[in-house]
């Protein structure tokens, strides 16, 4: 699934000759900017309001998540990183760092 999605994203980019603008620095900046736009949807709302946002917010939230995913996919591709591999590795590291018996129900950093 991720392979087909990546190919679709890259085809979209390449048909528009945008690869020239997609160096790692600019892609990382774009991810941060789009993350800010995602966060803006939750500005001045309570935690409870954010857990159940109004239906009309879902379109904007979804678009920002999609923008982040697109730029992240291109960044990983440009750096020759396989998203599935690096996410699985990070999950393994997190399992070691945050064992269930000492982390369950706790939001704080575990040292």
What residues contact residue 92 under an 8 Å CB cut-off, 6+ apart?
none
**Same domain? 9 vs 54:** yes
**Same domain? 87 vs 44:** no
Domain total for the chain?
Answer: 2
**68/61 Cα distance (integer angstroms):** 11
Domain range for 39 is 2-80
CATH of the domain at 58: 1.10.287.1080
Predicted TM-score (pTM) of this structure: 0.90
How many CB atoms lie under 10 A from the CB of residue 10? 16
Q: What is the pLDDT along the chain (111 residues), one digit of tens a residue?
A: 899 999 999 999 999 999 999 999 999 999 999 999 999 999 999 999 999 999 999 999 999 999 999 999 999 999 999 999 999 999 999 999 999 999 999 887 766
**Same domain? 49 vs 12:** yes
């Amino acid at each position: 699934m991720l392979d087909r999605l990546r190919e679709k994203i890259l085809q979209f980019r390449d048909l528009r000759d945008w690869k020239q603008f997609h160096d790692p620095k600019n892609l990382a900046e774009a991810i941060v900017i789009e993350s800010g736009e995602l966060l803006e949807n939750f500005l001045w709302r309570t935690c409870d309001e954010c857990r159940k946002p109004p239906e009309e917010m879902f379109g904007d939230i979804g678009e920002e998540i999609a923008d982040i995913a697109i730029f992240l996919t291109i960044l990983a591709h440009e750096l020759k990183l396989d998203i599935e591999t690096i996410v699985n590795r990070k999950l393994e590291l997190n399992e070691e760092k945050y064992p269930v018996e000492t982390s369950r129900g706790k939001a704080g950093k575990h040292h």
